[in-house]
């Protein structure tokens, strides 16, 4: 069964084709980074307008890449939340139109739940043994930071979430503060490689509390205070290169410490032996390294899919959509169709 996965919940227009929920035949992502960069964050109205312009081209490209035509599509999956409502509307309208035109059933999926499905994907040049159930998924991205216990492809329980900023949002805000642009996760990751992780003191919020919620707004404010009070005393406007790297490394280490500690605690609490890490922040090299280290000796398997499956894409949406359609979870073309996912 070939499912077309459509993702427009934020600022990426993405369409993919996936066979039997696992084999990625094509995955095309059109990024809007260059549009939002000068505003230092996503402008929702601009995002939805760009989705309208891009969606048909991206879908055409995804079909072409897989050597398919629309009549070969057996099902359509689309992100129906959470995300920017104007952006989601474009993907949902597109998916409904394709469903109406082809007669293929469609289903709406939860974007966060779909992120974890990165662990089931394989492609021409990538294959990994899928995780066994139950597993804990750490989903950390620009919009969410959540720990979820998966007991089946579509069965899960939310264990904890951020109480304020998402992890990726903290990376992006610190990057902006340091004048490194938006989005900043990848830049901080790169600079931190040659920075001193102990140069600046950052608190590890909530780390001592043995619960599974996160808080990242304090780390972000700490970065602001470091820049204002320590690095830029009156008169200085430029942060020296090495200091930038040291702040990046110290901030990143604090954020990673919290993500690793809570993930390990979630495994301990649930008794699960596998951790899946996905979402844009899962691309972070230090997070991957630290999770790998933490798993050694603890008889835990860490599944960290390749970055292209961790950031927003249509393949994860198609994967979850496949398992929902298999279970008979279809959405109706009626605008009042009930949401098919649990709230977060
Ligand atoms: O999953 P994603 O593509 O979109 C959302 O659903 O939000 O995640 C984007 C987020 C951004 O905040 C970006 O800065 C962050 O992922 N990110 C990273 C890295 N690459 C992307 N954060 C830390 N280290 C990275 N290497
Ligand atoms: Zn996402």
Helix (H) or strand (E) holding 80, with range, is strand 75-81
pTM of the model: 0.93
CA distance 154 to 151: 8
- Residues in contact with ligand 1 by the CB-under-6-Å rule are 10, 141-143, 168, 171-172, 183-186, 189, 279-281, 283-284, 311-312
Question: For position 100, what pLDDT does the model report?
Answer: 93
Q: Kindly state the tokens that stand for 192.
A: 């931190």
**Which among 177, 185, 312 is the best mutation to test ligand 1's pocket, defined by most ligand atoms within 8 Å of the CB?**
185
Strands 106-110 and 75-81: parallel
Q: Kindly state the tokens that stand for 103.
A: 């007669």
Q: Kindly state the tokens that stand for 13.
A: 């227009």
Digitized pLDDT (tens) for each residue of the chain, 344 residues in all: 999 999 999 889 999 999 999 999 999 998 877 777 877 778 888 888 988 999 999 999 999 999 999 999 999 999 998 998 999 999 999 999 999 999 999 999 999 999 999 999 999 999 999 999 999 999 999 999 999 999 999 999 999 999 999 999 999 999 999 999 888 999 999 999 999 999 999 988 777 777 899 999 999 899 989 988 877 776 677 888 999 999 999 999 999 999 999 999 999 999 999 999 999 999 999 999 999 999 998 899 999 999 999 999 999 999 999 999 999 888 877 644 445 544 44
Task: Decide: 85 and 247 in contact? Cβ < 8 Å.
Answer: no
CA distance 248 to 257: 14
**Which among 192, 280, 288, 310 is the best mutation to test ligand 1's pocket, defined by most ligand atoms within 8 Å of the CB?**
280
Q: Kindly state the tokens that stand for 170.
A: 């903290």
Closest CA to 240 of 252, 250, 230: 230
Helix spans in the chain (H): 33-36, 44-66, 85-102, 111-116, 167-177, 185-192, 217-225, 241-270, 285-295, 307-310, 314-326
Closest CA to 97 of 116, 81, 125, 78: 78
* C-alpha 298 to ligand 1 mean position (Å): 28
- DSSP code of 89? H
DSSP lists the bridge partners of residue 2 as: 19
CA distance 168 to 141: 5
At 77 the three-state DSSP class reads strand
* Closest atom of ligand 1 to CA, residue 141: 8
CA distance 77 to 297: 39
Task: Decide: 152 and 204 in contact? Cβ < 8 Å.
Answer: no
* C-alpha 252 to ligand 1 mean position (Å): 13
Question: For position 99, what pLDDT does the model report?
Answer: 94
Question: For position 94, what pLDDT does the model report?
Answer: 96
CA distance 116 to 167: 16
What value does the CA radius of gyration of the chain take, rounded to a whole number of Å? 20
Tell me the longest C-alpha to C-alpha distance in the chain.
66
Which residues, at least 6 apart from 297, have a Cβ–Cβ distance to it below 8 Å? none
Task: Decide: 51 and 95 in contact? Cβ < 8 Å.
Answer: no
* C-alpha 34 to ligand 2 mean position (Å): 18
Q: Quick one: CA torsion of 163, 168, 171, 177, rounded to 10 degrees?
A: -80
* C-alpha 194 to ligand 1 mean position (Å): 20
Q: Kindly state the tokens that stand for 298.
A: 């603890």
């Amino acid at each position: 069964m070939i499912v077309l996965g459509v993702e427009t919940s934020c600022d990426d227009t993405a369409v993919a084709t996936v066979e039997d929920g696992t084999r990625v035949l094509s995955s095309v992502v059109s990024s809007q980074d260059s549009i939002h960069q000068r505003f230092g964050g996503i402008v929702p109205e601009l995002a939805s307008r760009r989705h309208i312009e891009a969606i048909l081209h991206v879908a055409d490209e995804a079909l072409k890449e897989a050597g398919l035509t629309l009549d070969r599509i057996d099902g359509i999956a689309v992100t129906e939340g959470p995300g920017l409502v104007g952006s989601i509307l474009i993907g949902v309208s597109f998916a409904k139109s394709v469903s109406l035109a082809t007669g293929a059933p469609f289903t709406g999926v939860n974007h966060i739940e779909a992120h974890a499905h990165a662990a089931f994907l394989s492609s021409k040049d990538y294959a990994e043994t899928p995780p066994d159930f139950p597993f804990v998924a750490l989903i950390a991205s620009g919009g969410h930071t959540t720990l979820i216990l998966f007991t089946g492809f579509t069965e899960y329980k939310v264990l904890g979430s951020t109480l304020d900023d998402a992890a990726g949002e903290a990376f992006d805000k610190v990057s902006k503060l340091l004048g490194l642009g938006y989005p900043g996760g990848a830049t901080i990751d790169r600079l931190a490689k040659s920075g001193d992780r102990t140069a600046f003191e950052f608190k590890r919020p909530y780390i001592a509390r043995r619960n599974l919620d996160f808080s990242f707004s304090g780390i972000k404010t700490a970065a602001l205070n470091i820049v204002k009070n320590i690095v830029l005393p009156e008169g200085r406007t430029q942060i020296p290169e090495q200091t930038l790297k040291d702040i990046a490394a110290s901030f990143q280490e604090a954020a990673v410490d919290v993500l690793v500690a809570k993930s390990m605690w979630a495994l301990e609490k649930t008794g699960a032996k596998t951790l899946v890490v996905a979402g844009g922040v899962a691309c972070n090299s230090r997070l991957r390294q630290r999770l790998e280290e933490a798993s050694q000796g603890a008889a835990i398997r860490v599944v960290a899919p390749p970055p292209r499956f961790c950031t927003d894409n249509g393949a994860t949406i198609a994967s979850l959509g496949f398992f929902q359609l298999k279970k008979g979870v279809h959405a109706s073309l009626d605008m009042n169709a009930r949401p098919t996912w649990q709230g977060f």
